[in-house]
Amino acid sequence: MQQTRETYEKNAPGTDRADPRRWWVLALLSLALFVIILNNGLLNVALPSLMRDLDAGIGTTQWIVDGYALVFAACLLTAGTLSDRYGRKRATLLGMALFGAGSLVALTAQGAGQLVAARALMGVAAALVMPGTLSILVDVFPAHERPRAIAVWGSTSALGVAAGPVLGGALVAHFWWGSVFLVNLLPVTVVLLAGARLLPESAAPVPRPADPVGALLGAAAMVGLVYGAIHASGEGWTSAPVLGAFGAALVAGAAFAAWERRHATPMVDFALLRRPVFLGASAGNMLLFSGLAGTLFVLTQYLQYGLGYGPLRAGCAVAPVAVAVGLGSAVSPALARRTGPRGGVTAGLALGAAGILVLALTPAYPGILAGLSLMGVGVGLALAPATDTVVSLVPPERSGNAAALNDTMQELGNAVGVAVVGTVLARGSGGPTGIEDAAPNGFVAAAVIVTVGAMLSGLLLPGPTRPDHGTTPVADGSPLGGGA
């Protein structure tokens, strides 16, 4: 495949050229990723205050949380194509500017509808940012440093999920719930000012044109899926509106697949989707984040409604998961080298599922702390090798589209996790007063989701490479081949 001259020179055999600013670039990209991931965690701990002030039920709060993740997922493929075409730096900076604007609207929202709309705008912005961060990282780091850089990038993502409740709790304890969006403004400003100077521009040499029909069909399938899961909490899984939403999602998904297969330049690389390695890595990522998002959605409410914690105390109670994610990320590259992607990702997902089950089995905080620690280490172990596996399957000039496809599955996992686990919580609780009794069922549902991811990763991902045989190159330059 054709590569840009700059990328080829940095990665060509026998050369050791790399951008001297690459670690500063990584810090800036990680900050951009951190702020867009941070927001779900920020908002989770503010949900009880928000529910009181806006007179919103669990179903409405699911839309406030999922309005961001769903639009984020729906726009990622189109955003990845546009960033490949017009420049990843431009897309990242434009996305950060829109993210700041959406945050300003959200912090002044006077009703649930306005807040959902603001969160949707922030989802569009995040979709522009996220593929560019990974593509620029792949472009500036030589191959031998890339796993370490991706481990830092991936742990930043998980850290954003974990750190949100602490910052959100501190703000909600002293101000109003809308103050959680103030946190976004300083990082947005830093990324815009420093990024204009530090971030290198890159684009695909032969970019794919936009595909608005495919984008609409894909978005319709995602909206139908999440709509059905959320509304099942009030109307039941077999009600006509819910079954209709799932049916519409199925029809839209089939139409999307048919359209993309006939399109000259499809948004989705179906050759990539047919590769077991990609499916194992991306599905593992998706189900990991699905379980993590669902767990934190339940836990932040359980701590406040069930154990009587205030917002700040609840946020601090969740904080140890961030330390655990860091520990898992620190040992993740070494584990993946010894066991291959299969060992690292599967072990991480299994450990994460075990941690969530501990949350379901114990009502007291010492057990919650143990569960959060296990879950965090599992996230740290799994995320980096799964992401590195995905980006290694394509040449650098196609990294934007591959990153967007992986990110789409990850963000769809976030949205579905909140929808499904939140629905289990809502069906079992009947309202805020019943959350304490229903929380274990929500945790079990989240653990089952992550366990399925562990099983898929164990079946589809490759094990360690045997030193006497080395890696087997394939047509697109991937050392992983096309099978498990």
Instruction: Name the 3-class secondary structure at 266.
Output: coil
For the entire predicted model, the pTM comes to 0.70
The token pair that represents 177 in the structure block: 């719930």
3/23 Cα distance (integer angstroms): 23
H/E segment holding residue 419: helix 399-429
347/205 Cα distance (integer angstroms): 38
238/234 Cα distance (integer angstroms): 11
The token pair that represents 87 in the structure block: 């420049």
Q: Is the dihedral of CA 140, 146, 150, 151 positive or negative?
A: negative
The token pair that represents 289 in the structure block: 């984040």
- pLDDT for 391 equals 72
| Distances from the Cα of 28 to the Cα of 6, 186, 189, angstroms | 21, 13, 11
Tell me the DSSP string of 136-159. HHHHHS-TTTHHHHHHHHHHHHHH
**Are 58 and 426 spatial neighbours (Cβ–Cβ below 8 Å)?**
yes
100/120 Cα distance (integer angstroms): 13
Per-residue pLDDT of the chain (484 residues; tens, 9 = 90+): 333 434 434 444 334 466 678 888 888 888 888 888 777 667 777 777 777 777 666 667 777 777 787 787 778 777 777 777 777 888 889 999 999 999 988 888 777 778 888 888 998 898 888 777 777 877 778 777 777 777 777 677 767 766 777 787 778 777 877 788 888 888 899 999 988 888 887 766 666 666 778 878 888 887 788 777 777 766 677 788 888 888 988 998 899 888 878 877 777 777 777 788 888 888 888 899 889 888 988 888 888 888 888 877 887 888 788 788 878 888 887 888 888 888 889 999 999 999 999 998 887 888 999 999 999 899 888 887 887 787 777 666 565 566 667 777 777 787 778 778 877 887 766 666 677 778 888 899 999 999 999 999 888 888 776 554 444 333 333 333 333 3
Q: What is the DSSP letter of 433?
A: G
**Position of tokens 């103050």?**
179
- pLDDT for 40 equals 66
- pLDDT for 432 equals 60
